[in-house]
Structure 1
Amino acid sequence: MDLMTLGRRVRHFRTARGLTLDDLSAATGTAPSQLSLIENGKREPRISLLGAIATALDVAVNDLLSEEPPSRRAALEIELDRAQRSAHFTKLGLPQVKASQKLPQPVLENLVGLHRELARRAREAIATPEEARRANTQLRLAMQARNNYLPEIEALGEEMARKAGYTVGALTHHTVARMAEQLGFTLLHVDDLPHSTRTVTDLAHGRIYLPPASIPGGHGLRSLALQAIGHRVLEHTRPTSYADFLRQRLEINYFAAACLIPRSAAVGWLEARKKEKDLAVEDFRDAFGVTHEAAAQRFTNLATEHLGIRVHFMRVGDDGALYRGYENDGLTFPADITGAIEGQSVCRRWAARTAFLRRDRATEFYQYTDNPAGTYWCSTQTGTTASGDFSISVGVPFADVKWFRGRETDRRLTSTCPDEACCHRPPSTLAERWVGASWPSALMHQHVLSALPAGRFPGVDDTEVYEFLEKHAPRA
């Protein structure tokens, strides 16, 4: 029950009947002061009193409990009250303005408008790289506590894929299109998507706009379509904070993965390979027709819950920077003072980096690494994008390597990171020669300094999106 809305509805019906608080008090046997508290949203009435008030005002109880403010003014009064109870307003130390009936409506409109702008600026202020890193760290730790497993989304993904006709193997583009149709949407490919978006959904006309189908049915387009569908299936509303935005992004990615590699088919496949002691991410990838990274991440969803294997995952750039990581097997990732791992440099002796040194990159690379936390085995695959090379690694503690292909490798290195002497401190002979005779100009990563553009959704240019929708909307 929203007490503010309830109170305003009681006041609306009372004044509409021409009754004073004293009149309502006489009719209900309740003191005027108590009725005033109810009308101001500061007290929750008993069910019996609510019934008495409804009778006295000649309305149904449901009329009082409706979530809709009874008038434009009531809506403004409720919004002002909530705004003045927010944390960012409290920090200002300003006195509250009582939204009484004596307050002129133009003044009320003005105050509410100012609070809306204050809230907008507060949201814009937190959409910074620092806030994003903090929110992402909290989300990563929360998923670590859940073994990177979300059973509710697993069930949704499996159910939707099966209803659309999925049986076994790779999820086809046609099946994805049927999933969209079941929700009342059509998938359309366009070559002029707004620059700040990956997909755009037209809720009014039931359309999901995707990039051009350069590779029909490719994993990327299937995944993008499923992520757009995920927003609808998971009943997401407009994110109210950057943390909320990141949580939604994680959930739609998880939903897409649960559709592309449905749990029952994946677990059966993995259990059979585990029994044969022949688990391999590259085979998992090929069996379901997804990218190596998607297969590796999906493996982390299922490994602990269904195979009893604790695991870690990394995506690392050729400069050694950690872009994404997950672990529940005790491996310690490099982290900054806030606990964020993104952008941190991983040890040069880890498989995620030594894999770049080999000539043959067509198959997985295997390596044991002795770390301060224990011995770990990793399977690493490298790839290339327009921005440079990267590696995808999946690893497990030594006790679990018996289930994986590549366990027989004799490649073994030792890492003492985070000890600076391991790989972050240059050899003394080189340092002595070059410390005062060099001046490198660092490559600047612009995203480090950039705040996300302000808009209804973080990073999205509203004007560009609305112009795009107007251009593509069907004409009557």
Structure 2
Amino acid sequence: MSQPQGALDDEVGPTPLTIGRRVRSLRQARGMTVAQLGEAIGRAASQISVIENGRRELRVSELRTLATALGATLDDLLDPEPPSRRDALELELQRVQEGPLFASLDLPRLAVRRSLPDEAIETVLALHAELVRLHERRASTPEEARRANTDLRGAQRERANYYPELEATARELLGAIGHGGGPLSHSAASSLARHLGFSVHYVHDLPVTTRSVTDGRHGRIYLPIRHDGGDRRVVLLQALATSVLGHDEPDGYAELLRQRVEANYLAAALMMPEDSAVELLVEAKAARELSVEDLRDAFSVSYEAAAHRFTNLATQHLGLPVHFLKVSASGVLSKAYENDDVRFPQDALGNVLGQRVCRQWSARQVFERDDRYGIYHQYTDKPNGTYWCTSAVQTDAGGDFSVSVGTQYAHSKWFRGRDTTTRRYSSCPDPGCCRYPAPELEDRWDEAARPSARINSSLLAATPSGSATGIDRVAVYEFLEQHAPEARP
């Protein structure tokens, strides 16, 4: 079998393990034992083994000492290419075993020993590649969308969800119409359209698959006459943003998604200008009164829009890592962003959209309250730390959904609602946390339950993993238990 392709596709340079493998290869080529190399650099043999197995990151000075002892150069040690075919196989096996697909199989890790034949590693890698292929074929169109969203979330994380070039464009446009700050009124949005050479027309027969239609030839923007109470400014500003940014017909879903994010960002920067919003947020942080609802009220926007805008500005201007998620009443995740290391649920290929979030998270607990439309605060102990979150339930044509913004416990001190005593524990993705019904309910209802599934119409919110229909059996069993004629009071 040839050397595995793409063994280091996700790497941009040497890793501790590739460096360790180069140290081992050079040591063996020079006929040195682990003890002899350790003696040459003043370290115990056990520490050399730790280095060669990639379990320690070395400083540059340590790398130079090792290179000298091995009669090599620093470049020799930092070469990211595996030193041998066997090393390439071992590195690829480690990458595979650390990935989400292998983790979803609930299999023990395969320890790499000298006695393990190359053929055995090749077989494991081939089986893994086939599983990946089957997963991708099973839902090729949703998978394309999910991959594009995963890539986009990574790009947003790298820039802390802040786009300075779009902020500058918004500032320039607002200055052109003499907007002095604060919320952007309907009349100001119309003035901006006129400044850009467009007239606005509200119609009854806008195509059902469109949010707006722009006639670039005649300088017209057609918008729907809305009956659902939606904010007309949003759709108008998004149409104007698309024109300002020169977006052409996208050539794929990734391009479509990028354009949508940029247009939405620019529209939000126009509705909630950076200077005014940052001034409000800085003052709120100084008073330890940060809240999404104050941003919402100050600029007369929806809670979801304010939450999105908060993530644009929180890290750049307040130094706060945050996360955002939008979740349906059934718990399915449709939008997500994080740069605070929160771990969203993911499928076997690492995609988060369409997955069902833990029942213990505030994004779902907010639906359990009597006052479900009020602002809800909660601390949640998760496997990688404690997080504070604020959530609110919103409603659109598709039904109820929750919008949540959260941060690590250490940063909760800046937020209103930090004094909440509500605290829950989540061990997800451990299946025992909330994915399975209580044993007594399963015994009682497993044979009797016959729920009828609501067909999932969203491309991105494809069926959550572990269920062919997307039905939450935990909720079904609890519902049946509560409404059963013989249910005890």
**8 Å Cα contact 1:317/1:323 also seen in 2:** yes
Structure 1 residues 307-333: Cα deviation after superposition (integer angstroms, max 9, x where no partner): 000001111111011111111101000
SS at match of 1:201: strand
Does residue 162 (structure 1) correspond to residue 212 (structure 2)? The answer is no
Alpha-carbon distance between aligned partners in 1 of 2:458 and 2:236, rounded to the nearest angstrom: 26
Alpha-carbon distance between aligned partners in 2 of 1:417 and 1:214, rounded to the nearest angstrom: 40
**8 Å Cα contact 1:219/1:290 also seen in 2:** no
1:32-71 alignment, distance < 5 Å: none
> Which of 407, 432, 440 is equivalent to 2:443?
432
Alpha-carbon distance between aligned partners in 2 of 1:165 and 1:358, rounded to the nearest angstrom: 45
Which amino acid is the alignment partner of residue 161 of structure 1? L
> Which of 145, 154, 159 is equivalent to 1:141?
154
> Which of 329, 337, 361 is equivalent to 1:326?
337
User: TM-score scaled by structure 1?
Assistant: 0.65
Alpha-carbon distance between aligned partners in 1 of 2:307 and 2:458, rounded to the nearest angstrom: 26
Which amino acid is the alignment partner of residue 392 of structure 1? V
Does residue 405 (structure 1) correspond to residue 416 (structure 2)? The answer is yes
Structure 1 residues 416-447: Cα deviation after superposition (integer angstroms, max 9, x where no partner): 00000001111122223333443433222134
Change in 2 beyond 3 A, CA 1:444/1:362: closer
Alpha-carbon distance between aligned partners in 1 of 2:367 and 2:461, rounded to the nearest angstrom: 30
Does residue 222 (structure 1) correspond to residue 233 (structure 2)? The answer is yes
Does residue 239 (structure 1) correspond to residue 250 (structure 2)? The answer is yes
**8 Å Cα contact 1:128/1:450 also seen in 2:** no
Change in 2 beyond 3 A, CA 1:127/1:198: farther
Which amino acid is the alignment partner of residue 339 of structure 1? G
Alpha-carbon distance between aligned partners in 2 of 1:341 and 1:272, rounded to the nearest angstrom: 34
Q: Quick check: which has more Rg, 1 or 2?
A: 1
Structure 1 residues 128-171: Cα deviation after superposition (integer angstroms, max 9, x where no partner): 32211211211111111111111101111122122212223210
Structure 1 residues 100-151: Cα deviation after superposition (integer angstroms, max 9, x where no partner): xxxxxxxxxxxxxxxxxxxxxxxxxx99322112112111111111111111
SS at match of 2:432: helix
> Which of 284, 306, 309 is equivalent to 2:320?
309
CA shift, 1:233, in A, is 1.2
User: TM-score scaled by structure 2?
Assistant: 0.64
Note the aligned Cα RMSD (angstroms): 2.1
Alpha-carbon distance between aligned partners in 1 of 2:274 and 2:140, rounded to the nearest angstrom: 35
> Which of 217, 224, 246 is equivalent to 1:211?
224
1:170-319 alignment, distance < 5 Å: 170-212=183-225, 220-319=231-330
**8 Å Cα contact 2:334/2:461 also seen in 1:** no
CA shift, 1:387, in A, is 2.6
SS at match of 2:250: coil
**8 Å Cα contact 1:127/1:242 also seen in 2:** no
Change in 2 beyond 3 A, CA 1:358/1:201: same
Which amino acid is the alignment partner of residue 149 of structure 1? Y
SS at match of 1:250: helix
> Which of 425, 434, 451 is equivalent to 1:414?
425
> Partner residue of 2:131?
none
1:13-32 alignment, distance < 5 Å: none
CA shift, 1:412, in A, is 0.5
Change in 2 beyond 3 A, CA 1:446/1:380: closer
Gaps of 5+ in 1: 1-125, 452-476
SS at match of 1:176: helix
**8 Å Cα contact 1:382/1:391 also seen in 2:** yes
Q: 372-381 or 182-191, which moves further after superposition? A: 182-191
CA shift, 1:362, in A, is 4.3
Gaps of 5+ in 2: 1-138, 463-489
SS at match of 1:446: coil
CA shift, 1:248, in A, is 0.5
Identity of aligned residues (%): 51
